[in-house]
Amino acid sequence: MSETIIAERSSEQILQDVGALLTGHFLLTSGLHSDRYIQGQKVLQYPRYASVLADRLTDEILKTGVMPTVVLGPALGAIHWEVLVATALDKRSDEPIRAMFAERAVDSPQDPNSFILRRGMELGPKDKVLVVEDVTTTGGSALKVVNLVKDLGAEAIGVGAIVDRSGLTLDFGVPFFKLLTLTLNTYMASECPMCRDGSVAIKPGSSKR
């Protein structure tokens, strides 16, 4: 499919084209169960499709009149997406835009689920940072990265996602840009009707159940 044709399709149609919208019994990163799942990496593996989405997100961000200097995403969900968004912004900026990812601080005794910057990546007071995720559900990872940005003395100017499946409940304390809002069924494991029917939740992208 040519990029011209892709650009004519809705964001949801693009996700459907690459099989990123799945139906079944899934264990989400948040610990919740759902009968549908959005596998962001299914679209991010195709730059031809994902670059169209990145251009659309860039359009929304630039409507605010603020140009980020850094695009930062939590690993692993935002891997590739932060580069694609930074590339889309870079084409429309006089100054180079950096793409970075934050990693979980697994060796932190205080909070192994917090995020840190490694591999020589740094932020400073002059940086205006757009935090990106492929899919937001509870928004926990994105919020932790927003807090990391602030702790490092930089300015978080917004959060950007391909899909918001939170049910419109998220508040990051900064503007939230999303291409698609989907209200999907989610359940606590103890209240999941699929579990009651004997089904076992799978975690997409993992062999573990």
Q: What is the pTM of this model?
A: 0.85
pLDDT score, position 8: 95
For residue 97, tell me if it sits in a domain.
yes
What's the domain range around 175?
A: 3-196
For residue 201, tell me if it sits in a domain.
no
Q: Does the pLDDT of residue 173 top 90, yes or no?
A: yes
Q: What are the residue ranges of helices labelled H in the chain?
A: 3-7, 11-17, 41-44, 47-62, 81-90, 140-151, 193-196
For residue 128, tell me if it sits in a domain.
yes
Q: Does the pLDDT of residue 202 top 50, yes or no?
A: yes
For residue 208, tell me if it sits in a domain.
no
Average pLDDT over residues 61-79: 93
Q: Is 197 exposed, middle or buried (0-12, 13-18, 19+ CB in 10 A)?
A: exposed
Q: Which of 17-21, 157-161, 194-198 has the lowest mean pLDDT?
A: 17-21
Q: Give first-to-last CA distance, the chain, whole Å.
A: 35
For residue 44, tell me if it sits in a domain.
yes
pLDDT score, position 207: 42
Domain tally, the chain: 1
For residue 203, tell me if it sits in a domain.
no
What band does 209 get if pLDDT is binned at 50, 70 and 90?
very low
Q: Backbone phi, then psi, for 44, in 5-degree steps? A: -70, -20
Per-residue pLDDT tens over the stretch 137-157:
888 999 999 999 999 999 999
Return d(Cα 141, Cα 75) in angstroms, integer: 9
Contact at 8 Å (CB) between 142 and 74?
A: yes
pLDDT score, position 87: 98
Per-residue pLDDT tens over the stretch 50-62:
999 999 999 999 9
CATH label of the domain that carries residue 132:
3.40.50.2020
For residue 75, tell me if it sits in a domain.
yes
For residue 202, tell me if it sits in a domain.
no
